[in-house]
Each structure stands twice: as structure tokens, then as C-alpha cells.
Amino acid sequence: MKIAVLNGSPKVGNTAAMVNAFAEGAKEAGHEVEILHVGKMKINGCLACEFCHGKGAGTCVQKDDMEKVMPAYKEADMVVFASPIYYYMIYDFKITTGKGETLNLADYKGKVIMVVNTATGCGFTPQYAPIEQMYKDYHDQGLGILDIPCNQFGGQAPVTPLTPHRSINPSSQIPRMLAAMRSRQ
């Protein structure tokens, strides 16, 4: 399996240690791992211009370091996003579920959670199948996956209390959130 790890940290610290440990274990298991230090790259935000879906035939109108990342991303069987998160602070947040209920992240203390930022209407989403499988395999053992949609890229993940509350595909078991971390306690 080809694995692309996107390390979002601009420093060499805990995130790098976690990425290196993951990469070492994956390589020992026979996987090919490429680590991209995106936290040190010049990458602009998406303009939602749709050039990549039209005239650009998959390439971005912006010329930045994403040109180095996209080949690894497209060739990968799995993409790992590693970002420094001050985990002790995540429990201070509340989010709104797709059903309009408030979910207090403090309820996840002592549990393993994976926060997935999604744009379910985007055509570049091959990573959903392994995430769904991971949820099926480990949910009963306590793994929590929170699908927090990102609708800023051309309106590809609209969520309102009237839209389906499941992520990735209509049969998904992963609960979809309505709003990202919106308030502190």
C-alpha cells in the first residue's frame, strides 16, 4: 500500500515524532510511505474556481507547492493528515451534530477520536472507503470518528438539519456534524 503522510507542523516536535513512528510501523508492515512536510510549504487556499475540474484537467490554476503534493496524494492508497493539535484543548469545544444536537468533546476524554474534515461532493475523495472500514472495524472497541464537513470549496459539503446526517455515502455509519468547533466552554 502507498501511504502519503501530510505533516502540517512547521516545527520538529510531537507531530513529527508521531509521523515518524507511524511511518516506521507502516514500512515494517511492508507499506511504502512518503512524508510531505506541508507545514513548511507554500500552499494557497482553494479559490473554488473549478479550473481543476474543467480546463485544468486536474491541475490547479495556482502555482504553488501543491504541485509537489498532488502526485503523491493521487497515487496514494491512504492519505494521513498529521497536524499539531493541542489535545488538552480539544475538550473545551462543543460541536453541533447533523441532527442539531450539541456534542461536548469533553465526553471523549480518555477515548481515541479521529476528526475528519470532509467535502463529500468533491471528486477527489478515494480516502472515504478506508475511513469507513476503520470505523466498522474499530467502533465497537471505542474508536470515535467525527466527520466535520467543509463547505468552503465550491459548496461541495452543504449540511443543514434538513440534509442527510450521514457522511461519506448515504449508508455510512459515521455521524456527520452540522457545524465545526463553534464555541468554547
- The pLDDT tens digits of the residues spanning 25-54 come to 999 999 999 999 998 999 888 877 888 888
Report the mean per-residue pLDDT for the chain.
Answer: 77
Q: Does residue 134 have a pLDDT over 70?
A: yes
Q: 156 and 129 in one domain?
A: yes
Residue 92 and residue 74 share a domain: no
Q: Which residue has the cell 474556481?
A: 49
Residues 64 and 107 occupy one common structural domain: no
Residues 98 and 73 in one domain: no
Question: Does 164 have pLDDT greater than 50?
Answer: no
Do residues 94 and 180 both lie within one domain? Answer: yes
pLDDT score at 28: 93
Looking at the fold, whether 54 and 123 belong to one and the same domain comes out as no
Domain boundary among 33, 62, 84: 84
**Residue 122 lies in domain:** 85-185
Number of domains within the chain: 2
